[in-house]
């Protein structure tokens, strides 16, 4: 007689990760329209982008009647300046209470049990689970002791999970999980996974790369069976992440390595219809996917800068229409380029709400004047740009300044 496998109980308002193919947490590609697109094409669950705990604290929760979404908003932090009377609140997190119901996992960036609990409580009633990011290798996360930095402080990570399980998971009856990366040796990975599985979590995802590795480097899967075995013995669901291209491959890999499911990241960023099986037709043409994305982005008042970035990922870079869209200044212009006539009026109204109604010609002239002024003001007597202006230029080139400038 075979014994029933041990399983950590799934809370009433939580969700079991087993048998699931899900959208991975991605900073720009995990915003609401991207999540809704993934769900439309068959994702079983969606992870939101890593949201830092301190950014959530102090937010106001509001139901947006225009978009039918729940928005967590706050005024930008300007400790040295008074807040202008007409300044708009920034949307820190936006979710859809019906379309994402029971399928949204909120990923938290944190390095403190106390602050993690305080932030998680704000959103706990509106999500199916809280996932702690212990795998992001980017400096914006690791500098504050978050993300992959937590892999070097396993007891701190365990204490964060234990606090969330007790003070959030048990109280709101949702699951708590964690996403990690491989450590330097199988032995270290094994010790970490065993410790984390003792915290009361319902799920663990392993990104099959070490912290120094980058996406272009092939995922390492030789530790997966060991990790899956530890999780199975502890009754914790185990997902894999890294170089998963589509639903069919995800299910095949899960069976091969004994894990319970898989996350799709880069492939979903390029074409969200990767969640469709081959039997369902597989990948859809990019134009069809882009049209659906645009409809969703307009429907939920997505930030223009984020939408423009996602279009650059969803469209072939060499296509003439893609180049034109990257020169567009607002939703209306994209609708004109893509000939989305049915969406035009809604796009125009959204542009007005976002304050991006300027015509392309006006934008070009303003940009020229700014560039001329910058060149005149940013040169020293020896003819070289000063360091501050040069640093600003470098950041702009990497999209950092531009990303903050379009936030609404």
3-class SS letters over the chain: CCCCCCCCCCCCCCCCCCCCEEECCCCCCCCHHHHHHHHHCCCCEEECCCEEHHHHCCCEEEEECCCCEEEEEECCCCCCCCCCCCCCCEEEEEECCCCCCCCEEEEEECCCHHHHHHHHHHHHHHCCEEEEEECCCCHHHHCCCCHHHHHHCHHHHHHHHHHHHHHHHHHHCCEEEEEEEECCCHHHHHHHHHHHCCCCCCEEEEEEEECCCCCCCCCCCCCHHHHHHHHHHHCCEEEEECCCCCHHHHHHHHHHHCCCEEEECHHHHHCHHHHCCHHHCCCCCHHHHHHHHHHHHHHCCCCHHHHHHHHHHHCCCCCHHHHHHHHCCCHHHHHHHHCCHHHHHHHHHHHHHHCCCCCHHHHHHHHHHHHHHHHHHCECCCCCECHHHHHHHHHHHCCHHHHHHCCC
- Residue 279, token pair as written in the block: 């039997």
Distance between CA atoms of residues 44 and 330, nearest Å: 32
Strand partners, 72: 61, 93
For 398, other C-beta atoms within 10 Å of its C-beta total 9
Handedness of CA 196, 162, 119, 123 (dihedral sign): positive
Sheet holding 60-64, edge to edge: 60-64, 69-74, 90-95
Distance between CA atoms of residues 165 and 214, nearest Å: 31
Strand partners, 46: 23, 104
Of residues 136, 208, 274, 335, which has the active-site annotation? 136
Annotation marks residue 231 as catalytic: no
Residues tagged active-site: 136
């Amino acid at each position: 007689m075979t014994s029933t496998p041990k399983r950590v109980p799934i809370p009433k308002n939580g969700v079991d990760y087993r048998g699931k193919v899900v959208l991975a947490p991605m900073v720009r590609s995990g915003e609401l329209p991207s999540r809704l697109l993934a769900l439309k094409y068959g994702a079983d669950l969606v992870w939101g982008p890593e949201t830092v705990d301190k950014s959530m604290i102090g937010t106001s929760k509001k139901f947006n009647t225009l978009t039918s979404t729940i928005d967590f908003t706050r005024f930008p932090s300007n400790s040295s300046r008074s807040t202008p009377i007409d300044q708009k609140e920034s949307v820190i997190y936006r979710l859809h209470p019906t379309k994402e119901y029971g399928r949204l996992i909120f990923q938290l960036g944190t390095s403190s049990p106390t602050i993690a609990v305080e932030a998680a409580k704000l959103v706990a009633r509106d999500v199916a689970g809280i996932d702690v990011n212990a795998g992001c290798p980017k400096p914006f996360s690791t500098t504050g002791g978050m993300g992959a930095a937590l892999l070097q402080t396993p007891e701190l990570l365990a204490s964060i999970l234990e606090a969330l399980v007790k003070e959030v998971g048990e109280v709101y009856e949702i699951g708590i999980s964690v996403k990690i990366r491989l450590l330097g040796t199988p032995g270290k990975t094994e010790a970490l996974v065993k410790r984390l599985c003792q915290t009361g979590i319902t799920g663990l995802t392993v990104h099959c790369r070490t912290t120094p590795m980058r996406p272009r480097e092939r995922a390492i899967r030789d530790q997966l069976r060991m990790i899956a075995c530890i999780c199975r013995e502890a009754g914790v669901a185990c997902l894999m992440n890294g170089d998963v291209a589509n639903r069919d491959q995800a299910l095949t890999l899960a069976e091969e390595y004994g894990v319970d499911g898989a996350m799709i990241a880069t492939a979903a960023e390029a074409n969200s219809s990767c969640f469709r099986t081959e039997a369902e037709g597989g990948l859809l043409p990019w134009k069809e996917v882009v049209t659906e994305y645009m409809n969703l982005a307009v429907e939920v008042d997505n930030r223009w800068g984020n939408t423009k970035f996602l279009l650059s990922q969803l469209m072939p870079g060499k296509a003439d229409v893609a180049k034109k869209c990257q020169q567009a200044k607002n939703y209306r212009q994209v609708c004109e380029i893509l000939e989305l006539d049915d969406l035009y009026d809604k796009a125009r109204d959204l542009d007005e709400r976002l304050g991006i109604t300027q015509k392309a010609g006006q934008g070009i002239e303003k940009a020229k004047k700014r560039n001329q002024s910058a060149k005149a003001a940013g040169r020293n007597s020896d003819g070289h740009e000063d360091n501050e202006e040069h640093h600003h230029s470098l950041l702009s080139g990497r999209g950092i300044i531009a990303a903050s400038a379009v936030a609404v």
